Amino acid sequence: MDQIEGRAQAQSRLLVGRYRIEGSLGHGGMGKVWRAHDEVLHRVVAVKELTAARYAGESERAVLLARTQKEARAAARINHSAVVTVHDVFEHDDRPWIVMELVDGRSLADAVRDDRRVPPREAARIGMWVLRALRAAHTAGVLHRDVKPANVLLARDGRVLITDFGIAAIEGDSTITRTGELVGSIDYLAPERVRGEAPGPASDLWALGATLYAAVEGESPFRRTSPLSTMQAVVEEEPRDSAYAGPLGPVITALLRKDPAQRPSVDEAEQMLAEVSEGRAPQSAQAYVPTRRVAPDELTAVRPGDTTAAPAAAPVRRRRLRSVVGLVVAAALVGAAAAFGVLKYMEQREPDGTGTGQTAGSAPKDWKRVRDEAGFSVLLPAGWKRQTEGAQIDYTPDDGVHLLRIAIDKEPDFENAYLHVRDMEKQGMGRISTYRQIKLRSNFFRDRPGAVWEFRWTQTTGVTKGERRAIDQLYVGEDGTEYAIYMSGPVKDWDKTREKFDHILRSWQPPRS
């Protein structure tokens, strides 16, 4: 009841005597977007709240405010119908807010999540409008630097708009960035940006190509199991073969050329997209499709069943190792999220890059994959049975002495998993006199921001009586759903329990959208 009342109060807030909050439109890692009514001009607007400023020091808040003002200036310099209009910027409650045009519709990311993929002709139409917006931005001296499906808005009336110039680079303006700061989404960073080179207009075209691939295929072309492997794929690998792009395929290939000088110009790309949107195959795109040449040593290295492949494979591995080292160095120039993810990956040395903080091997042979009715699946030892505990799902072989608990929250109350864990500690286990924290920190799980919490306590009653230990891995999926994977057991055999937990994390598959 308190949470409901708190939400009702939040939705009735009047900001700076003008903007009345009416409801939530969504949230991300840095902030929330609210639907609001402008009581001066009597119109409905979108208000973006930079909630990250709540937990920042005074100097960091000043940087966030300056960045918000920079975003407004960047958008204000662009005069185009496909760019979301920014109306106002203000500071309220010690954090920046930005007032924007409210687009009645959904993002391209939502469309892909809901519909699985976008038809090639429609994707080409969307790409054409994004390209026109980018041309207007580049003409105004603005690079977007974060083109991705989540920043492409599809209005119900058929309009396509691009939003979020929060990390845009404005020609002639001082850059409000610091060493190790986030400057884009790894999946959509152009190779030259991953290598630490200065971005240009061609970098935005690369991101558009990756966005169009994600639209028609339903997945990012370079997403791998870790930030490092994703960055390596961006620099070294060609995108996976397209199964659904049709005539749009060669256009995407042209936009995703590794060398920015070999990508088409904005005008050339627009002509290609226009032809696809009209149902025609763009002949000019074929000139940008490279002919793949396979080196003799690579052919030898991958020949099935040939024991002579090992010597030839060694030069290939050495080349890849040099590339990995280069990417780790370049990560420092890319930004905080990328650099942190890369360094954590290298530190943990996990074969599958899950980012759990452990180095577990493959699961024992007698483990079976359990596909739960809630939609998720995991590998579990024989004999573990499903139980329910309110909104949570438990699996146990011995009435909870050893326990796996899964919680799924589609509308989490906290800005991030770390704040949720801190609240659970304060309101729950932290009140038990025998509680001892072992670890509590933010981390990455499956390339998503999360938090890990490990602790011990003494249970005084019931079948679980005695000294116990637990670990909880939380993370927030791309659709905003929070997942918590929790395991507890007696201290006396915790090493075995923890090993099981590592296997479970490695096998975890969330519900499909």
Task: State whether 377 and 237 are in the same domain.
Answer: no
Secondary structure class of 190 (helix, strand, coil): coil
Residues 75 and 129 in one domain: no
With 0-12 CB in 10 A as exposed, 13-18 as middle and 19+ as buried, what is 410?
Answer: exposed
- Domain-embedded: residue 313: no
Residues of the chain with pLDDT under 50: 1-10, 172, 174-183, 293-314, 316-361
Domain CATH code at residue 394: 3.40.1000.10
| Residue where a domain terminates, one of 256, 272, 290 | 290
CB crowding 259-274: b at 16 or more within 10 Å, else e: ebeebbebebbbbbbb
> What is the structure's pLDDT at 184?
60
* Residue 366 backbone dihedrals phi, psi, to 5 degrees: -85, 0
Predicted TM-score (pTM) of the model is: 0.58
- Spatial distance between the Cα atoms of 442 and 8, rounded to a whole number of angstroms: 30
**Which residues fall within 8 angstroms of residue 42, CB to CB, at 6 or more apart?**
none
Q: Does residue 429 lie in a domain region?
A: yes
Is residue 333, in this structure, part of any structural domain at all?
A: no
Whether 149 and 259 share a structural domain: yes
Looking at the structure, tell me whether residues 393 and 266 fall in a common domain.
no
Report the pLDDT value the prediction gives residue 59, as an integer from 0 to 100.
60
How much is the pLDDT for 77?
82
Q: Which residues make Cβ contacts (< 8 Å) with residue 296, sequence separation at least 6? A: none
Closest CA to 150 of 220, 226, 255, 237: 220
Residues 6+ apart with CB under 8 A from 267: none
Regarding whether 62 and 18 lie in a shared domain, the answer is yes
Instruction: Please tell me whether residues 74 and 135 are part of one structural domain.
Output: no
Catalytic residue among 2, 104, 146, 413: 146
The total domain count for the chain is 3
Tell me the two tokens of residue 404.
């796996």
Tell me the CB-side half-sphere exposure of residue 194, using CA atoms within 13 A.
30
Q: Is 46 helix (H, G, I), strand (E, B) or coil?
A: strand
Cα separation, 411 vs 27, in Å, equals 10
Q: Are residues 162 and 77 in the same domain?
A: no
End position of a domain, from candidates 52, 77, 101: 101
pLDDT for residue 74 = 75
pLDDT of residue 72: 74
Domain match, 198 and 234 both: yes
Position 95 scores a pLDDT of 76
Q: Which two tokens stand for residue 405?
A: 């608990």
Does 376 share its domain with 249?
no
What pLDDT does 187 receive? 85
Q: Are residues 114 and 94 in the same domain?
A: no
Does residue 187 have an active-site annotation?
A: no
Distance (Å, rounded) from C-alpha 456 to C-alpha 414?
Answer: 24
Q: What residues make up the domain containing 458?
A: 368-507
For the CA atoms of 329, 333, 336, 340, the dihedral, rounded to the nearest 10 degrees, stands at -10
* Token pair in block for residue 423: 């609240």
Alpha carbons 442 and 465: distance in angstroms, whole number: 30
Q: Can you tell me whether residue 57 is helix, strand or coil? A: coil
312 located within any domain: no
Residue ranges with strand state E in 95-167 = 95-101, 105-107, 142-143, 152-155, 160-162
Q: Which of 101, 117, 148 is at the close of a domain?
A: 101
pLDDT of residue 457: 94
Residue 182 lies in a domain: yes
Residue 68 lies inside a defined structural domain of this protein = yes
pLDDT score at 226: 76
Instruction: Give the CATH number, domain containing residue 119.
Output: 1.10.510.10
| CATH classification of the domain holding 12 | 3.30.200.20
Q: Same domain, yes or no, for 272 and 127? A: yes
For residues 192 and 213, what is the distance between their CA atoms, to the nearest angstrom? 19
Q: Does 502 map to a domain?
A: yes
Q: Is residue 165 part of a domain?
A: yes
How far does CA 362 lie from the centroid of its chain? 26
Which spans in 80-119 are helix H?
108-115
Residue by residue, DSSP assigns 291-314 as PP---HHHHHHT-TT-TTHHHHHH
152 and 248 in one domain?
yes
Cα 348 to Cα 101: distance, rounded to the nearest angstrom: 44
